[in-house]
Structure 1
Amino acid sequence: MRSYAVSSLLLAHHCLALSQYLSSLPTEFQSSHAKWAWVSYESPAVAVIPGSFNRTALQAPHEGDASDPIVREAFSQLNETDFVAYDQRFFHLIGPDATIDHVQELAYQTHEAPCFDQATGNLFFAEWGPPGGDNGTHDWQYLLNTRNNSLQKIKTDPPTYNAHGCVIYDSQMYVVTDGYEDVETGQLVRIDPNTWRHETILNNYHGQPFLGFNDLDIDSDGNFWLTDSKSAFGRDLIEFSNPTNPTIYFVNSTTMRPRPVHITTGNTNGIAVSRSQADPSVHTVYLPDTGFSEFKPVSRKNPLGDRALFAYDAAEGGVLKNARFLNNPIAWFYDGIRASKNGYLFAGAGDGVDVIDPVDGLTLGTIRVGGGENVAVSVAFGKNELWIVGRGGVWHVNGVKEELARDW
């Protein structure tokens, strides 16, 4: 009897210690269909980890090592979750009815350029770079009918090679590409989703080829913001070396004149533009630097490389002002990034999609894609849902409390 009592006491102590690291969920989330965890620095067990512990910038929190068995178990439980909250605001934003489903399991290949057409229910996205395609070159894209979960490969007319980013604006799809080999340089193209007719609308800066576009966003005035990256050369999609350092271009949609507005010795990747709720003429631009990911002469992830997220005020003509450091990822680096209707930032960050407050820069929580080899790369919004594409396929997050899709 005494042995049983001692065992029960130890078990109760273990559960109490574990619950101190993983805070109790709000009542309405305890019966959620999704699996939630709450990690709060208000808990002393989170603020001060006993024993030895370690985690690199290349590892998600659940991959961290700790000598204390209770902490190790807490990390393990994080890997069983769908949503991890770091701030109470994440609960209010996502809500208890949200679910995440892995709707398409694809090769562990980078998938990019998601565009969700709310009118048709179609999700356009691309497979990017080697080892897929013809030596890494893709002249086709995926189209997922989200209403019946059927997937097909499509080709535009003429074909769009190596699509890397996509945004829908005024019922048209705008796609940026890497170009391919020595045949075609990076381009900004317009695609009619009804006919799949492709039209190139920009392919040079005063005769200089672009490095290879990675992503884009469009502001509420219809102007383009393009990230020109060294990733295409780094993955041997193009044969010429970089004519300049990675650059952000602002393109006036009326004149189509490109203007460099930011340059980095790291790398450009995703970009997001949001509009002030108080003053619709004011835009904020968010830029993550991904110098963390190096290509040549050796392909590697450098934990000392740039991976910070900065915010800028966009002045007339695309001039970026009032630069401010906003966030450094908890893990990995920010790939595709999008701003929701109310300005929250959703960024692919390896293990999942981080949701970031645009004012204080805090990571409010993470929408996880299951761990293992799965990697969240980029997102596209519906009204109360989002689609995540990345290594491992496509995930659908449904029943989100916050309205996500922008009104432009």
Structure 2
Amino acid sequence: MRSKKGALVWILVLVLSLITVTFTGAKALYETKPVPAKERHDISEIIHQSSKWEKVATGSGFMEGINFDRKGNIWLVSPTTGEILTIKGDKVEKVLGDKDKLMPIGAKFHKDGRLFITDGKGELYSYNPATGERKTIVNSYDGKPLNGLNDLVFDETGGLYFTEPMGSSATHPTGRVFYLPPGKTEAILFSENIAYPNGIAISANGQRVYISEFDKNQILSVPSVNAANSPESPFIFARFEGGIGPDGLAVDAEGNLYVAHFQAGEVVVVDANGFKYGTIRLPEDAGTFATNLAFHDGYLYVTESSKNEVWRIQVKMKGLQPYGLN
């Protein structure tokens, strides 16, 4: 009897301890904060009053996947022409292209100098600007070919998240997101049942992965592979009005999320708690196909893919340093 009673007491103490730990964690996460007396934000916190859009270059195809190498050169891709592109002065130049074999949609630099590309034909591959070599990294999961891929982002360890939207929609939410651990060749299923997962980014603290659920006009937040233990679960981080849906994403050093709102002709800025600063609307002579974003030297760069133009605007915030430039 005594041993059973002692065991029961021990189990009760353990359960109470676990409840206390969980409650403490939940309290830290969901702790109430003062309700602001005024509007939470204004877009003037993000851009200078004098900031004006500047056109950087005009190309062809369907330009997106913008990012910068260590020398400050702009790199892009075009899925409709199967090209990897770069900008020289104000001219867009082809680096590699084969529309019969390639459909590059997203691009990010690895810190070793290779450009990693997600392809609409279901392949993740790398391109080495120094040698011109293109190498397949991943093209299957669980023994089956991947569907068309869209966007990607490296975490601070060199692990890679990438989206697989092709074949999914608002009425058929079968899109998936995968994670490729550093140095591995087999991807892990990270999240699924998403209505066209498009752009993807990691929060400034590395705890969340932001996923553009394009066909539901919203952003999902999912705890990252390396997130600390927490009661936080996947949730809808932000919703939008008009346009079609969120495309490319970028994060600044303060943790704010910048969203290329496709068919709306604007960039929406959201703080780390999901509250909107407002929108930065593209100029009147630009198109409405805002697709991808990148920070560089005090500017936010945007690809607009109906007219195939790159625009930039000066911002007050510094972009989060991407893994490829570390």
**Which category describes the TM-score, using the shorter chain as reference length?**
0.7 to 0.9
TM-score (norm 2): 0.75
Alignment of 1:260-275 (within 5 A): 260-264=189-193, 266-275=195-204
Q: Distance in 2 between matches of 1:229 and 1:154?
A: 26
The range that moved more, 95-104 or 346-355, is 95-104
Deviation at 1:141? Answer: 2.4
Aligned match of 2:120: 178
Deviation string 1:369-406 (CA, Å, 9 cap, x unpaired) is 43674321111221311221122122332432211141
- Which of the residues 285, 288, 295 maps onto 2:212? 288
Check conservation: 2:248, 2:260, Cα contact below 8 A: yes
Secondary structure of the residue aligned to 2:44 is helix
Deviation at 1:123? Answer: 1.5
Q: Distance in 2 between matches of 1:396 and 1:265?
A: 30
Alignment of 1:290-369 (within 5 A): 290-291=214-215, 306-316=216-226, 322-332=233-243, 333-349=245-261, 350=263, 351-369=265-283
Cα distance 1:386–1:373, how it changes in 2: closer, same or farther (>3 A)? closer
Deviation at 1:167? Answer: 1.1
The answer to which structure has the higher strand fraction is 2
Check conservation: 1:160, 1:198, Cα contact below 8 A: no
Q: Distance in 1 between matches of 2:301 and 2:119?
A: 21
Aligned match of 2:314: 399
Check conservation: 1:341, 1:407, Cα contact below 8 A: no
Does 2:178 align with 1:253?
A: no
Alignment of 1:34-73 (within 5 A): none
Check conservation: 1:288, 1:308, Cα contact below 8 A: yes
Unaligned runs of 5+ in 2: 1-37
- Which of the residues 103, 109, 119 maps onto 1:162? 103
Aligned match of 1:125: 76
Cα distance 1:215–1:318, how it changes in 2: closer, same or farther (>3 A)? farther
Deviation at 1:220? Answer: 0.7
Deviation string 1:9-48 (CA, Å, 9 cap, x unpaired) is xxxxxxxxxxxxxxxxxxxxxxxxxxxxxxxxx7xxxxxx
Code of the aligned partner of 2:57: Q
Q: Distance in 1 between matches of 2:162 and 2:212?
A: 13
Q: Distance in 2 between matches of 1:376 and 1:87?
A: 26
Aligned match of 1:15: none
Secondary structure of the residue aligned to 1:99 is coil
Cα distance 1:404–1:151, how it changes in 2: closer, same or farther (>3 A)? same
Cα distance 1:363–1:156, how it changes in 2: closer, same or farther (>3 A)? same
Q: Distance in 2 between matches of 1:384 and 1:142?
A: 23
Q: Distance in 2 between matches of 1:405 and 1:386?
A: 12
Q: Distance in 1 between matches of 2:190 and 2:146?
A: 14
Question: RMSD value over aligned CA atoms?
Answer: 3.0
Code of the aligned partner of 1:123: I
Secondary structure of the residue aligned to 2:94 is strand
Identity %: 17
Aligned match of 2:19: none
Q: Distance in 1 between matches of 2:298 and 2:236?
A: 29
Q: Distance in 2 between matches of 1:98 and 1:396?
A: 13
Q: Distance in 2 between matches of 1:167 and 1:319?
A: 28
Check conservation: 2:175, 2:195, Cα contact below 8 A: yes
Secondary structure of the residue aligned to 2:46 is helix
Check conservation: 1:127, 1:142, Cα contact below 8 A: yes
TM-score (norm 1): 0.61
Secondary structure of the residue aligned to 1:174 is strand
Cα distance 1:347–1:105, how it changes in 2: closer, same or farther (>3 A)? same
Q: Distance in 2 between matches of 1:190 and 1:215?
A: 14
Cα distance 1:369–1:260, how it changes in 2: closer, same or farther (>3 A)? farther
- Which of the residues 291, 301, 310 maps onto 1:387? 301
Cα distance 1:92–1:122, how it changes in 2: closer, same or farther (>3 A)? same
The list of structure 1 runs, each at least 4 consecutive aligned residues, that deviate by more than 6 angstroms after superposition, is 317-320
Q: Distance in 2 between matches of 1:102 and 1:225?
A: 31
Secondary structure of the residue aligned to 1:211 is coil
Unaligned runs of 5+ in 1: 1-41, 43-85, 180-185, 235-241, 277-281, 292-305
Check conservation: 2:66, 2:293, Cα contact below 8 A: yes
Deviation string 1:325-363 (CA, Å, 9 cap, x unpaired) is 221113221011122232221111131111111213324
Aligned match of 2:22: none
Deviation at 1:230? Answer: 1.2
Alignment size in residue pairs: 277
Does 2:56 align with 1:103?
A: yes
Cα distance 1:383–1:342, how it changes in 2: closer, same or farther (>3 A)? farther
Deviation string 1:246-277 (CA, Å, 9 cap, x unpaired) is 1111111222321112112521111111231x
Deviation at 1:315? Answer: 4.0
Secondary structure of the residue aligned to 1:91 is helix
Check conservation: 1:312, 1:322, Cα contact below 8 A: yes
Deviation string 1:125-145 (CA, Å, 9 cap, x unpaired) is 12223xxx4xxxx2x222112
